[in-house]
């Protein structure tokens, strides 16, 4: 009996020790450690902003600091966060506003439905509104396309994307200073000189240089300086003289000044509505859209090349932390990742059985990332997307966009003026 009692006592003590050690291990794990192979990162607390001044749907949000931010939405809604409160800023339009981007506390742009775009130089106190695009192929014209995404790399350089494959570049009138004249036949030196002389004599052009290295004999490039007081159209002026030698592909715009330029129709495609644009630096950028569309530029948006995403899903948002490392999210819980600038895209998230759409993505650094879903959920990663966990279970409203300034400070916006804030616990 004593032996049995002793064994029983030892067993109870052993069980007690095991439980005590287990509790010690569990209590010793902090939020930065790996639990079941998933790096959780620092825990954040989500709270609903109780003083949202609107019940309109909000489509985009951007914060520069913890005290300066903006959100835009339906019926021309612009909200500005100053210090501790959100306030409504008059926009001058009733159009639905879909994207907002500020490069600093003063300079910001907004794009929306029917090509509307707004620009401010005083931090959003006042806005200039427009719906025209400067076309290098001949003057200005209404955009007439919904603009969905926007990104700027400086106060003088940025891009907007929208329906029917539209890619617009914000810059000055120098964007159209180069005139490309494409030839179907070999142009000899004498014919080239004749064309140059005719252009100078007829259109008052001052030619700085003629590049025949890169294009000759297929084309002649005139880098020009033009007098903005003179309005002209190359086609109507000299086409009769040279139509048997070359085909005119471009004309000089009849308006000058900063604005959105349509640099090329190469991406215009009614099947490829574009949803977002992001640049890793001044020259490397990506746009994403319908049917798995991804385009990349390596020359600051002058030319774009299609990339193979490996999917036909609608792609809604893109973010890059360097020219090589980036993420794309889309419908039905799709998350794509690249480490080579988009030459290869791999799926990071198991989206089997997921019906909600991922519509926004943020990576304040290469490790910490966030994705927002239309069912009001927010997913996060702390290991560059190798693992994703639900950080916010479906909120009371659907969500459309998010903005994070670091690994633990961010905001999401969505339906009925919903605004939620994440802060470190």
Domain residue ranges of the chain, discontinuous segments joined by +? 2-30, 44-172+259-424, 176-248
- Give the residue among 125, 100, 123 at the shortest CA–CA distance from 110: 100
Q: Which residues of the chain have pLDDT under 70?
A: 1-41, 132-141, 172-258, 261-271, 395-396
Other C-beta atoms closer than 10 Å to the C-beta of 157 total: 17
Place of tokens 């998933």: 38
Other C-beta atoms closer than 10 Å to the C-beta of 36 total: 6
pLDDT at 189: 44
Q: What's the Cα-to-Cα distance from 399 to each of 61, 97, 343, rounded to whole Å? A: 11, 16, 31
Q: What does residue 106 show for φ and ψ, rounded to 5 degrees?
A: -105, -45
pLDDT at 284: 97
The structural architecture, per CATH, of the domain 44-172+259-424 is 7 Propeller (2.130)
DSSP state of 332: T
- Cα 112 from Cα 212, distance rounded (Å): 41
pLDDT at 261: 66
pLDDT at 140: 59
Three-state DSSP class for 38?
strand
pLDDT at 230: 32
Specify the DSSP element, H or E, that contains 241: helix 234-242
pLDDT at 67: 94
- Cα 370 from Cα 384, distance rounded (Å): 10
Full-model pTM:
0.73
């Amino acid at each position: 009996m004593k032996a049995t009692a002793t064994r029983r006592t030892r067993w109870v003590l052993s069980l007690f020790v095991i439980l005590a050690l287990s509790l010690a291990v569990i209590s010793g794990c902090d939020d930065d450690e790996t639990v079941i192979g998933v790096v959780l990162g620092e825990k954040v607390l989500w709270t609903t902003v109780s003083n949202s001044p609107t019940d309109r749907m909000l489509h985009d949000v951007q914060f520069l600091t913890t005290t300066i931010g903006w959100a835009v939405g339906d019926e021309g809604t612009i909200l500005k966060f100053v210090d501790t409160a959100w306030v409504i800023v008059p926009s001058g339009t009733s159009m639905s506003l879909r994207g907002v981007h500020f490069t600093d506390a003063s300079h910001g742009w907004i794009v929306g439905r029917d090509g509307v775009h707004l620009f401010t130089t005083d931090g959003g106190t006042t806005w200039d509104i427009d719906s025209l695009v400067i076309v290098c192929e001949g003057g200005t014209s209404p955009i007439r396309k919904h603009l969905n995404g926007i990104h700027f790399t400086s106060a003088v350089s940025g891009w907007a994307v929208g329906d029917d494959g539209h890619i617009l570049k914000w810059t000055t009138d120098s964007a159209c200073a180069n005139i490309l004249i494409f030839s179907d036949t070999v142009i000899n030196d004498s014919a080239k000189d004749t064309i140059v002389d005719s252009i100078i004599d007829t259109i008052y052009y001052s030619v700085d240089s003629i590049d025949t290295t890169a294009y000759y004999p297929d084309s002649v490039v005139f880098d020009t300086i033009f007098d903005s007081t003179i309005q002209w159209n190359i086609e109507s002026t000299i086409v009769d003289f040279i139509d048997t030698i070359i085909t005119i592909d471009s004309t000089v715009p009849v308006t000058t000044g900063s604005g959105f330029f349509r640099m090329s129709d190469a991406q215009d495609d009614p099947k490829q509505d574009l949803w977002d644009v992001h640049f890793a630096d001044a020259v490397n950028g990506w746009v994403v859209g319908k049917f798995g569309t991804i385009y990349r530029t390596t020359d600051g948006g002058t030319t774009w090349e299609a990339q193979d995403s490996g999917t036909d899903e609608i792609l809604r948002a893109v973010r890059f932390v360097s020219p090589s490392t980036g993420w794309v999210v889309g419908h039905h819980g799709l998350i794509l990742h690249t480490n080579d600038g988009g030459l290869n895209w791999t799926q990071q998230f198991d989206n089997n059985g997921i019906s909600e759409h991922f519509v926004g993505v943020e990576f304040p650094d290469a490790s910490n990332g966030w994705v927002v879903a239309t069912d009001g959920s927010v997913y996060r990663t702390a290991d560059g997307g190798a693992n994703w966990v639900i950080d916010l279970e479906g909120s009371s409203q659907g969500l459309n966009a998010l903005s994070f300034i670091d690994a633990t400070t961010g905001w999401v916006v969505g339906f009925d003026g919903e605004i939620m804030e994440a802060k470190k616990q």
